Amino acid sequence: MSHVAPRFATTGYVAASVAYFGLPGLPQILEEVPVETVGKALDALAARADVDPNRIAVFGISKGGELALLAASTYPQIRAVVADVPSPFAWQSIAQGPETSAHSSWTVGGKPVPFVPYASAMGAGFVQAFTEHKPLDLRVGYDASMKENAAAIAPAMFHLENVRGPILLIAADDDRIWNSVAQSELAMSYLKAHNHPYNDAYLHFAGAGHIFLFATLQRPLTQAPLGATTLLLGGSKEANVRSAAQAWPRIFTFLSSALANPRS
């Protein structure tokens, strides 16, 4: 989402969008993507004369939110995190075919990060959507995966206790991609259990869908085309637009406070 950095830049932040797959020189699919991609971007930002290296934050949405939490758990120079509809643990790569073995979405130091694998319902949902031309509801597959592979969640959790600054988690109550509410609540429980010494915060928005933060009246983002089918995102036009209008000021207030006087 290359339009995200300009939104932050217009409020006075030095902002950069970090590509991590699908472009030349990067993994072409979202599979075993190295967290070091973010580390290199952090080094580049810190080297700029207009950047205070002690006041660097990361923002991510969906899989990007998953990566943002992993990166902040890895790199102590990240002093604040805004994770929108994220996962606090690693999921299986989303690039698997029916005949391939499961792989992690991420690597650290060249080693795959432990992950939660998909249940059979995930593949079945794709087959049904594309053969019967029905909308694809990924939430069904993710819910089944969290239930059937619950024992894999704890080993796949990121070490959020290592994040050296506050975390803002944002969830959507009508998320049709995955259960961002449950996943954000898992993150908050983990942070409290590990005595994370920062002002972490959690917001969830009633009736909002997975991409609500970027919804407008002209582009409500309740669904998206996906080849021969449609990907359900969730929410209603009214709820998505209303929630976006409420969320953005909270994000900027959080960042202003988190980066005003970061702790060592």
* Residue range 80-122, pLDDT digits in tens: 999 999 999 999 998 654 445 799 999 999 999 999 999 999 9
- What length is written for the chain? 264
Cα 261 to Cα 49, 81, 82, 125, 257, distances in angstroms: 19, 15, 17, 47, 8
* Residue range 148-196, pLDDT digits in tens: 999 999 999 999 999 999 999 999 999 999 999 999 999 999 999 999 9
* DSSP string computed for 222-233: SEEEETTEEEE-
> What would the two tokens of residue 249 be?
């000021």
Strand-pair partners of 205: 172
- Alpha carbon distance 181, 202 (integer Å): 10
Q: Indicate whether 112 belongs to any domain.
A: yes
The answer to whether 160 touches 89, Cβ cutoff 8 Å, is no
CATH number reported for the structural domain that contains residue 208 in this entry = 3.40.50.1820
What is the total count of domains within the chain? 1
How much is the pTM? 0.95
Within 10 Å of residue 197's Cβ, how many Cβ atoms?
A: 11
Q: Indicate whether 264 belongs to any domain.
A: no
The domain of 128 spans 4-259
Q: Indicate whether 141 belongs to any domain.
A: yes
